[in-house]
Amino acid sequence: MYIFKAAVVGAGAMGGSIAQVISYSGLPVVVKDIDQHALDLAREKAESIYQDRVRKGKMGASEVASKMALISYQLDYEGFDDVDIVIEAVPEKMSIKQAVYKELDAACHPGAIFASNTSALSISEMAAATKRPNKMIGMHFFNPANVMKLVEVIPGSQTDAETVQDVVSFSQDLRKIPVVVKECAGFLVNRLLGPYLNEAAYALQEGAATANQIDGQATGAGMPMGPFMLADMLGLDVCYDAAGTMYKAYGERFRPAEIMGKLYQHRKLGQKSGAGFYTYSDETPPSLEDLITEVQRETNLLTSDFAVDRIILPMVNEAIYALQEQVAGIGDINTAMMAGAGMRVGPLALADERGLDEILSRLEAYEQQFGARFTPAPLLREKVAAGELGKKSGKGFQEYS
């Protein structure tokens, strides 16, 4: 199905950014929300993205005017009867999303695709609220949507092949890199980033290193942003909720660090609240240092040193678990983590470069020290036992001549 018109339900900064991306491709797009202030934010976001392009000499004012004219903003579903795809970007609460899909069923033509921008919730569960489960799919943009190239395409249990192909083609028309991902908690990129963020929080609360030191080592190892800067940007409420979802799905590998709960409890949510792992405005007590002391008193666990492998290797290990579970293929896992998380080289390619035997040995040592968070994926053990050690043996996750 060719997509002639799109809609975004759920405004604000993310909705505005997605609408801008669609309009830039030349398609008309309707942005709908129940709050006029949110619609105003979406309009301002789209305008600011275009004005930034003008300042950089990439667009002229007349072209911006024509692109902005493709976006309409409204409080109702008027005109949704000829929309071919709806991208839902409402709050991450299943009850809200399901209520929206029931409304969309009545407003849209039977062939319209419903695509959720959720970062973690079940596509199949959303589909249960619609009369078109075969047309329900995940289409997860990364923030900021106008910059980040990756789109995770997540079929639900009843999504048909035509819908998957339509959304892949639509993503490509938006100049994005689509990666089809099997439905699971956290999907792919957030699932792999979870252990990276969580293990950094454990190291911090144990006094192994400061937030600045850990972030510095992470960027030195090739990550575009340290785990604490990333968490503060995403919002610690978002990270905390996602951590709980993945812990429930995957068990002890994802047991959340206590400091995350402390910060969440005191509403220190990162940049949007003025304080999180870093301070962005006048901070009210307790400080991060106070909360770390509280966690240390409760857990009685301290470590004296920090190596960046402690946060990088759990991410590599989780990539191997995801491959083992057929969440995505080798190339797609590497591509997704480069395009969606900014890694210089994908995690499976990194494992091949380092040597799978070395990765296994380091994980086993960490497992002995810290427990089940570092339990190596069975597929990693199998490859090492078979002598498939990566580049040095000519074969690992990929073959080398």
Q: Over pLDDT 90: what percentage of the chain?
A: 93
Q: Contact 153/167 with Cβ under 8 angstroms?
A: yes
What confidence score (pLDDT) does residue 301 get?
87
Domains, the chain: 6-180 (3.40.50.720), 188-401 (1.10.1040.50)
Q: How far apart are CA 393 and CA 401, in angstroms?
A: 10
Q: Contact 28/73 with Cβ under 8 angstroms?
A: no
Model confidence pLDDT, tens digit, residues 138-152 = 999 998 999 999 999
What confidence score (pLDDT) does residue 19 get?
96
Q: How far apart are CA 113 and CA 120, in angstroms?
A: 19
Instruction: Walk across the sheet containing 71-74 and list its strands.
Output: 71-74, 29-32, 6-9, 85-88, 113-116, 136-141, 150-155, 177-180
Q: How far apart are CA 22 and CA 234, in angstroms?
A: 23
* CB neighbour class for 56 (10 Å; exposed up to 12, middle 13-18, buried from 19): exposed
Q: How does strand 71-74 pair with strand 6-9?
A: unpaired
What confidence score (pLDDT) does residue 14 get?
85
* CB neighbour class for 1 (10 Å; exposed up to 12, middle 13-18, buried from 19): middle
| 3-class SS letters over 34-69 | CCHHHHHHHHHHHHHHHHHHHHCCCCCHHHHHHHHC
Q: Contact 239/260 with Cβ under 8 angstroms?
A: yes
Cα end-to-end span (Å), the chain: 42
Half-sphere exposure of 401 toward its Cβ, with a 13 Å CA cutoff?
Answer: 0
- Choosing from 37, 109, 140, 266, the catalytic residue is 140
What confidence score (pLDDT) does residue 282 get?
77
29: left (phi over 0), alpha (psi -120 to 50) or beta: beta
Which residues does residue 29 pair with via DSSP β-bridges, in sequence order? Answer: 6, 71
Q: How far apart are CA 72 and CA 198, in angstroms?
A: 40
Asked if pLDDT for residue 303 goes beyond 90, the answer is no
Residue partners of 355: CB distance under 8 A and separation at least 6: 389, 390, 391, 392
Model confidence pLDDT, tens digit, residues 210-226 = 999 999 999 999 999 99
Q: What is the DSSP letter of 133?
A: G
Q: Which has the closest alpha carbon to 318: 375, 236, 267, 389?
A: 375
pLDDT, mean over the chain: 95
Region 359-371: what's the mean pLDDT?
97
* Residue 140 falls in the annotated catalytic set: yes
Model confidence pLDDT, tens digit, residues 111-130 = 999 999 998 899 999 999 99
Q: Contact 197/239 with Cβ under 8 angstroms?
A: yes
H helices, E strands: number in the chain: 17, 8
| Position 401 confidence tier, pLDDT thresholds 50, 70, 90 | confident
- Name the token pair of 201: 């929080």
What confidence score (pLDDT) does residue 119 get?
87
Region 318-331: what's the mean pLDDT?
98
Torsion of CA 239, 237, 176, 111, to 10 degrees: 110
| Position 239 confidence tier, pLDDT thresholds 50, 70, 90 | very high
What confidence score (pLDDT) does residue 13 get?
73
- Name the token pair of 196: 């990276």
Asked if pLDDT for residue 283 goes beyond 80, the answer is no
pTM of the model: 0.93
Q: What is the DSSP letter of 7?
A: E
Q: Can you list the alpha helix ranges (DSSP code H) found in 128-235? A: 161-173, 189-205, 211-220, 227-234
Asked if pLDDT for residue 163 goes beyond 90, the answer is yes
What confidence score (pLDDT) does residue 305 get?
87
Which residue bears the tokens 């074969």? Answer: 395
